Amino acid sequence: MDGSGASGRRADLAIKGGRILSIGRLPAAAATETIDARGLVVAPGFIDVHTHADAIARSPGAENFVRMGVTSIVAGNCGSSALDVGDALTEIKQAGTAINFATLVGHNTVRRAVMGNANRAPTVSELAKMKSLVWKALADGAVGFSSGLEYVPGTYARAPEILELARIAANSGGLYASHMRNEGNELEAAIEETIRIGAEAMCRVEISHLKVDSPSRWGASGAALALIDDARKRGVDVAADQYAYTAASSTLGIRFPSWVLEGDQAAVVARLSDPATWERIKAEMRTLLAQRGFKDLAFSVVASYGADPTFNGLSLKQIAAKQQGSDSLDAQMEAARQMMIHGGASMVYHLMSDDDVDRIMKHPQVAIASDSSVLTPGDGVPHPRGYGNTVRVLAEYVRKRHIISLEEAVRKMTSLPAEHFRFTGRAC
């Protein structure tokens, strides 16, 4: 199966120096090592264009990726990357990673370096500094620019700032990848903003981990995909990626109004510790939950909480019951408040519908990507996507539920992301 989406064929495959030499009938070929793959499927190594494996130099084996067939990854997503991409790539090269590595440069990283976690527009000179940092990262080898507009400080940026920076990436041949401002109650507006930036910057666009993350909006994937199709018809080269689960993974902080997270940890703790401010925060959180169609925080499960690992694997509802003897929404918010004061947590959020995940997977421009970091087995209770994303696509979505064909699944993990990211000599 060559990754193009064409039907698989029976053939021999010769490899020399780590590269495919020829494919076909090679009865007379001699090799130092022969693998009998009869009854199995041979495919190009999978390409995972949405990862957070920025720390790969510390675990160069990248075992969780290798074990799910991934041989090339892109890090620096959701606005978060190394600030000095050149240094990071040198370190990674020296570490000798098991898989191919590319990175984007992140807007949040660049913005924080220039203006901290300030909740305002940049000055002219701050924007100029950010532009030069993005330009340098691309010159040093970044393959594009990413945003994480649901996170601090990216969430404080308006579209013109992102556009200016995406333009710099586009001028160097890079693409613009976005963890959009909203994936639920304002999903369509967020997609329109992303596409408009791509169109005006004349930049290829990758919508990261496309999903509908609010029960009140379940079914909106149809409208979301239609916006992508319309933009493509107008000539905007927009594609997307997704992971094959109905649960997401993110920070605990993402559940709080973004103004609460401005500044450093001391500033956040001060807001959360002031009774009047906390009442205001709770009121906003209640409104946010209601808009998104949640009745409480039971959908929020702890993946990793440094201050008390016994919370790992428990929902905020369970933690509230255990800690405060009540599982009311108020007690759940109190549990979340205390966890934020003690350094926050990494979370798994159960918030998508199967119908939306299926519909998004059937779209021909949506690649498969894990959204994972390099993981250490036994560490916390992480989202399973970091170990099983590609495997789940093949087992659940191809073999069991027939949502897409095997050829299409392989294409979504190989040639589709390779073409959009302009990776030559990879996939088919």
Binding site for Zn ion (CB under 5 A): 78, 179
Distance CA 129, CA 84 (A): 14
Nearer to Zn ion, 78 or 138 (CB): 78
Q: Are 51 and 73 contacting, i.e. CB atoms less than 8 angstroms apart?
A: yes
Distance CA 207, CA 200 (A): 16
User: Least distance from C-beta 155 to Zn ion, angstroms?
Assistant: 12
Q: Copy the structure tokens of residue 252.
A: 């605990």
User: Least distance from C-beta 154 to Zn ion, angstroms?
Assistant: 10
Residue by residue, DSSP assigns 372-402 as: -----TTSS---THHHHHHHHIIIIIIIIT-
Contacts of 203 (CB under 8 A, 6+ apart): 166, 167, 169, 170, 174, 175, 176, 197
User: Least distance from C-beta 40 to Zn ion, angstroms?
Assistant: 34
Nearer to Zn ion, 281 or 345 (CB): 345
Tell me the one-letter amino acid at 201: A
User: Least distance from C-beta 427 to Zn ion, angstroms?
Assistant: 24
Strands (E), 138-210: 144-148, 175-179, 205-207
Sign of CA dihedral 105, 361, 243, 292: positive
Q: Are 388 and 380 contacting, i.e. CB atoms less than 8 angstroms apart?
A: no
Contacts of 164 (CB under 8 A, 6+ apart): 127, 131
User: Least distance from C-beta 148 to Zn ion, angstroms?
Assistant: 6
User: Least distance from C-beta 210 to Zn ion, angstroms?
Assistant: 11
Closest CA to 130 of 174, 90, 83: 83
Distance CA 315, CA 297 (A): 8
What is residue 315's DSSP assignment?
A: B
Nearer to Zn ion, 242 or 332 (CB): 242
Alpha-helical runs (H) found in 247-346: 265-273, 275-292, 316-324, 329-341
Residue pointed to by tokens 């190394």: 82
Greatest distance between any 2 Cα atoms in the chain: 81
Nearer to Zn ion, 179 or 385 (CB): 179
Nearer to Zn ion, 248 or 409 (CB): 248
User: Least distance from C-beta 152 to Zn ion, angstroms?
Assistant: 13
Distance CA 384, CA 290 (A): 28
Nearer to Zn ion, 179 or 412 (CB): 179
Nearer to Zn ion, 78 or 413 (CB): 78
User: Least distance from C-beta 54 to Zn ion, angstroms?
Assistant: 13
User: Least distance from C-beta 227 to Zn ion, angstroms?
Assistant: 19
Nearer to Zn ion, 78 or 418 (CB): 78
